[in-house]
Amino acid sequence: MKEITCKLLVIGAGPGGYVCAIRAGQLGVDTVIVEMAKPGGTCLNIGCIPSKAIIHAADDFAKTVAMAAGRNAMGIKADNPAIDLAKTMAWKDGITGRLTLGVAGLLKKAGVKIVVGRAKFRDGKTVAVETETGEQVIRAENIVIATGSAPVELPVLPFGASGAKVISSTGALSLTEVPQKLAVVGAGYIGLELGLAFAKLGSKVTIVEALDRILPLYDTQLTQPVGRRLAALGVEVLLGTKVKGLSSNGEALLAETGSGEEKRIAADKILVTVGRKPVTEGWGREELELDMDGRFLRIDEQCRTSMRGIYAVGDVTGEPMLAHRAMAQGEMVAEIVSGKRRSWDKRAIPAVCFTDPEIISVGMSPDEARAASREIKIGQFPFSANGRAMTLSAEEGFVRVVARADNHLVLGIQGVGAGISELSAAFALAIEMGARLEDIAGTIHAHPTQSEAFAESALKALGHALHI
Ligand code: FAD
Ligand code: NAD
């Protein structure tokens, strides 16, 4: 096969890689992207999008079940709700299919050449790709490593063990029947998002978490409403508990609580969600001399690795392993390769957990702001005092703003509440634009919307909230 030469070669077409390639193509950079699976990476195929589709379907189903059980204050009645999970999955697959086709179309529109196969470095400028029709060698002036991440496997619970009982998030997102009993190992992002969804779909869910709290990334004030929802859905959460493996007959998950009590958790499926690891093997890293930063590839503020002409973006480069961080890095690298002067100067990367209710955090938490030895002001406004939240039966939660006490510069914004993920744009923009409390309080927020809680939280920090 004839060798390809190009200015930019991107390895991996997840959010980091495909955004990089599209932007480079738009800028007229001669670009090739290699992907061994489907365009869109983890995010579009087995991550963000499919999980949010299932979460939404589960939510709708749980509301209908509550209506059928007469637990509906609005007077809506329903009879015998049922869910056909195979159909739900087919609907989800339709969405991911449209999106991945869309990404391929966008790459083509930007003039990017797509090579399908596994890429492996030969040296710092040459990559060989195993394609269906043979080996394709590609030489490039610049190469971007965007190989992403994969689920962490527990040695005591390998994926696929006991007749496919032990599954990763990928397995959970392709189940065609709702497991009667689902054990979830890890109460982080995926464990809680999917654990809640399956509880709503009707599974008896037990979550085992090694630490003494759920969602350790977020402060307890933010996670308390999620804890209450888990309890209301009958989800058992075993904190400070270690998993030991499967019972000898493979029917149950064995665990040990912090006080040494042995637990036997009967389960049809065991979903292991104990974190993700960067994909740093399988693409010829041994042929290069790349500095590492722990388990991740080391990069600088321009996403340059320790080797000239080799960049890295996305999950392979570190925390937070989030799609929007990968995309922002990818876009920046494309511009740098095209000759523009860019460096990473983002103020904040929003984090949203699509639990029930949703949690959001942008910038510094109160503890982080205090640790940075700042005098701070905090304003918190509850959704129970927000008209729109009442009309949505979504009064649980609040918006909290953290600002410097001296000049009122906003340092962080957090919140928990139904549908609050959509406020992430306003929160991130406020921090990116260097807003002060007065800017937020002085912005007219449409009525009735949940966003009014944002303005009210700023007013509260200023000492004169209007609606509480
Ligand atoms: P990836 O998306 O992992 O893409 C890497 C690509 O590289 C893959 O397509 C892979 O096939 C390809 N590749 C690897 N090696 C090679 C090779 N040698 N040759 C060719 N191709 C190769 N993030 C959010 O921001 N919001 C969410 O709501 C969210 N939900 C998630 C839910 C789940 C269940 C999971 C698992 C993840 C979720 N994430 C979410 C995380 C998000 O998916 C990742 O942060 C994001 O996909 C990282 O993008 P990336 O481009 O770095 O890598
Ligand atoms: P996570 O890091 O969010 O949570 C893992 C949890 O497992 C932690 O609470 C940890 O204490 C626990 N744990 C670790 N080892 C354990 C053990 N042996 N027994 C019991 N508990 C154990 O990891 P995740 O949920 O697998 O998600 C991976 C990553 O994917 C996230 O960190 C995030 O970057 C990304 N993601 C993001 C979103 C989102 O943005 N909404 C959604 C899903 C995934």
Contact status, residue 34 vs residue 10, Cβ threshold 8 Å: yes
- DSSP single-letter state for residue 377: E
Q: Which of 56, 324, 445, 447 is catalytic?
A: 447
Q: In what order do the strands lie in the sheet with 358-363?
A: 351-353, 358-363, 410-417, 398-404, 376-382
What is the number of the ligand closest to the CA of 116?
Answer: 1
What are 91-94's contacts with CB under 8 Å, separation 24+?
91/53, 91/57, 92/50, 92/53, 92/54, 92/57, 92/173, 93/50
- Rounded Cα gap, residues 10 and 16, in angstroms: 9
- Would the CB of 33 count as within 6 Å of ligand 1? no
Ligand 1 centroid – CA 197 distance (Å):
21
Instruction: Please state the pTM of the whole predicted model.
Output: 0.98
Which atom of ligand 2 lies at the shortest distance from residue 169's CA?
A: 26
**Other C-beta atoms within 10 Å of 376: how many?**
18
Query: In the chain, what is the greatest distance between 2 CA atoms, to the nearest angstrom?
Result: 71
Ligand 2 pocket at CB < 6 A: 154, 185-191, 193, 208-211, 216, 243, 273-276, 320-322, 352-354
For ligand 1, what atom is nearest to the CA of residue 18? 51
| CA 296 to ligand 1 centroid distance, Å | 14
Q: Which ligand is nearest to the CA of 278?
A: 1
Which phi-psi region, left, alpha or beta, contains residue 363 (left: φ > 0; alpha: ψ -120 to 50)? left
DSSP class of 305: -
CA of 317 to the centre of ligand 2 (A): 17
Which ligand lies nearest to the CA atom of residue 326 in the structure? Answer: 1
Pairwise CA distance, residues 453 & 397, whole Å: 10
Using CA atoms, how far apart are residues 182 and 159, in angstroms rounded to an integer?
Answer: 15
C-beta 41 within 6 A of ligand 1: yes
* 211, two tokens: 């630490």
- Distance (Å) of CA 127 to CA 39, 43, 64, 286, 307: 19, 25, 53, 13, 15
CA of 144 to the centre of ligand 1 (A): 15
Pocket test for ligand 1, best of 11, 33, 42, 324 (most atoms within 8 A of CB): 42
Per-residue confidence (pLDDT) for residue 162, from 0 to 100: 82
Closest C-alpha among 268, 265, 264 to residue 181: 268
Contact predicate 376/411, CB 8 Å:
yes
SS3 225: helix
pLDDT in tens, 91-123: 999 999 999 999 999 999 999 999 999 999 999
3-state SS class at 254 = strand
Tens digits of residue pLDDT in 44-74: 999 999 999 999 999 999 999 999 999 999 9
Query: Taking the alpha carbons of 320, 195, 53, 387 in that order, is the dihedral positive or negative?
Result: negative
Å from CA of 461 to ligand 1 middle: 38
Q: What pLDDT does 171 receive?
A: 98
Residue nearest atom 36 in ligand 2 by C-alpha distance: 189
The answer to whether the CB of 222 is under 6 A from ligand 1 is no
Q: Which residues of the chain, if any, have pLDDT below 50? A: none
447 is catalytic: yes
Closest ligand to the CA of 276: 2
Closest residue to atom 38 of ligand 2, CA basis: 189
Give, in degrees to the nearest 5, the angle at Cα 39 between 128 and 134: 30
Q: How far is the CA of 200 from the centre of ligand 2 (A)?
A: 20
Protein residue whose Cα sits closest to atom 26 of ligand 1: 48
Q: Measuring CA to CA, which residue among 167, 211, 222, 212 is closest to residue 190?
A: 167
Residue 122 β-bridge partners: none
